[in-house]
Amino acid sequence: MAVDLSQNEWDEQLAKDDNAIVLDVRTEEEVEEGHLPNMQHIDIRQGQGFLDAVGALDKSKNYYVYCRSGARSAQACTLMNQMGFETTYNLEGGIMNYEGPIEQS
């Protein structure tokens, strides 16, 4: 089941999670404007392409999923849970409200 995390919870939990994958589900254009460090990018708007790419991921990992505002990442978490991913976290408010380090592509 997906869990919504505030930025503080996200940062604290991610810092001590050795099994974490950060997943950005925004569009390519959004990613080019800035993204979280060490993320993997799979655009949720690709439909079946998104499902195929996510289906190839390791289901034993913990996924920290974000988008611009938190809506698409919540949807991605739900889809991932339906596909058998047990641990997904959604960044509340998305990258718009994130105050940590942002990298440029």
Domains for the chain: give ranges and CATH numbers: 2-97 (3.40.250.10)
Token output for 70: 């938190």
Rounded-to-integer distance, Cα 60 and Cα 11, Å: 21
Instruction: For strands 2-5 and 39-41, give the pairing.
Output: unpaired
**Which residues are known to be catalytic?**
67
Identify the burial level of 91 via C-beta atoms within 10 angstroms of its C-beta, where 0-12 means exposed, 13-18 middle and 19 or more buried. Answer: buried
Query: What is the residue-level pLDDT of the chain in tens, covering all 105 positions?
Result: 789 999 999 999 999 999 999 999 999 999 999 999 999 999 999 999 999 999 999 999 999 999 999 999 999 999 999 999 999 999 999 999 999 899 987
Contact 23, 63 (CB under 8 A): yes
Token output for 17: 């999670």
Global pTM reads 0.96
Contact 57, 76 (CB under 8 A): no
Token output for 98: 């994130």
